[in-house]
Amino acid sequence: MAQNSVAKDLFLHYLPYSEEDEKLGMLCTTAGFARVPPGAAYPPQKKDHPAIFRPVAVGRVLPEFQIVYITAGEGVFTSGDVSYSVTPGSVLLILPGIKHSYHPLLETGWHEYWVGFKGAYFSGLIKEGRFSPDQVFFQIGLHDSIISLFNLIFDEIKAQRPLYQIKACAAILSLIAEVLTRDRRKEQLNSYQKTVEKAKYLMESNVFSEIDLSSIAEQLGISTSRLNEIFKTYTSMTPYQYYIQIKIYKAESLLEQQELSVKEVAHKIGFEDQYYFSRLFKNKTGVSPSEWKNFMTKI
């Protein structure tokens, strides 16, 4: 018999499965959500969970996988000997045979979604390196697509129409793909950010030099075309456009100094051609360098 409980702030269901279901190589075993208010006991309605699942807050070992998605509140997750601070957008991956615990902070509570699954296919994900005990915590942020997949699983479980296990497991596979790809894209974004920030630093450090993007790319260990691609993806402007902009900002500051002529300022920030510099300056500021200088020296 399936064990289940449905309330306004809680849905939980533990599923029976047949030999035919097991032949699929993948099974959905449990799913649910809970809105745990601050100060509440955890897990809520503890008696409605099978005994093996109850000690989640103090430590347990499961014979199955689970994915837990936190959408509000804060808490703590421990897997093996490593602890993680849980915030909205956190995903916890529970692996079979590994001791773990998790619970919300008393002062915040939390909202959680979870699904349990097992089978040869999912076990194969560990052998393939898709799942690893070293990567069981993901901070992917809040996404409607993740919630939609959980709701699809809940709908299949509630209705239990013929072959609902196949539909539920298909949604679990999509959920796994969403979590892993969003985590990978987040890492790529962080990598982009580091590259862009270092490129900006190098440009700022060489604001008085001629523009040499190939040298900057070389210091970053990437090609000039790759630098252009990453920089534009992250900032919506090319490295050259950014470099010109910071040179113009520096020129504005230098032109305020009465002792420096427009030609001297142009040369100082790496422009041999004073007239090219003047055209760029007016294009960016709306006034010529001499007009800017005259205006600023009168203030």
Residues 137, 221 within the same domain: no
**Closest among 290, 282, 200 to 237, alpha carbons compared:** 200
Query: In angstroms, what CA-CA distances link 214 with 62, 211, 254?
Result: 54, 9, 27
Residue 123 lies in a domain: yes
Number of separate domains in the chain: 2
Q: Quote the radius of gyration of the chain (alpha carbons, Å).
A: 29
Looking at the chain, the whole-number percentage of residues with pLDDT higher than 70 is 96
Residue 200 lies in a domain: no
- Among 1-15, 103-117, 189-203, 235-249, the range scoring the smallest mean pLDDT is 1-15
Which string of b and e fits 19-44 if b means at least 16 CB within 10 Å? eebeeeebbbbbbbbbbbeeeeebbb
Residue 198 lies in a domain: no
Give me the helices (H) in the chain, please.
19-22, 120-127, 144-159, 164-205, 213-220, 224-235, 239-255, 262-268, 274-285, 289-298
Q: Give the residue from 152, 186, 220 where a domain finishes.
A: 186
Res 204 pLDDT > 60: yes
Structure tokens at 217: 């790319």
Mean pLDDT value across residues 78-90: 96
Strand partners, 10: 7, 34
Band (pLDDT 50/70/90 cuts) for residue 217 is very high
The whole model's pTM is what?
0.67
The label of the residue with tokens 């900002």 reads 249
Residues 182, 221 within the same domain: no
Decide: 36 and 45 in contact? Cβ < 8 Å: no
Residues 28, 79 within the same domain: yes
The predicted-structure confidence for 255-286, as pLDDT tens digits, reads as follows: 887 788 999 999 999 998 999 999 999 999 99
The predicted-structure confidence for 114-153, as pLDDT tens digits, reads as follows: 999 999 999 999 988 889 999 999 999 888 889 999 999 9
What CATH number is associated with residue 107? 2.60.120.280
Residue 197 lies in a domain: no
Pairing of strands 90-94, 65-73: antiparallel
Contacts of 7 (CB under 8 A, 6+ apart): 45
Query: In angstroms, what CA-CA distances link 129 with 31, 125, 167, 181?
Result: 25, 6, 25, 15
Residues 160, 212 within the same domain: no
Task: Specify the DSSP element, H or E, that contains 117.
Answer: strand 110-118
Backbone φ, ψ for residue 167 (5° rounding)? -65, -40
Range of the domain at 47: 3-186
Q: Give the residue from 186, 216, 244 where a domain finishes.
A: 186
Band (pLDDT 50/70/90 cuts) for residue 84 is very high
Residues 265, 129 within the same domain: no
In degrees, to the nearest 5, what angle opens at C-alpha 122 toward C-alphas 147 and 156? 40
What CATH number is associated with residue 227? 1.10.10.60
Residue 51 lies in a domain: yes
Write down the number of H helices and E strands in the chain. 10, 10
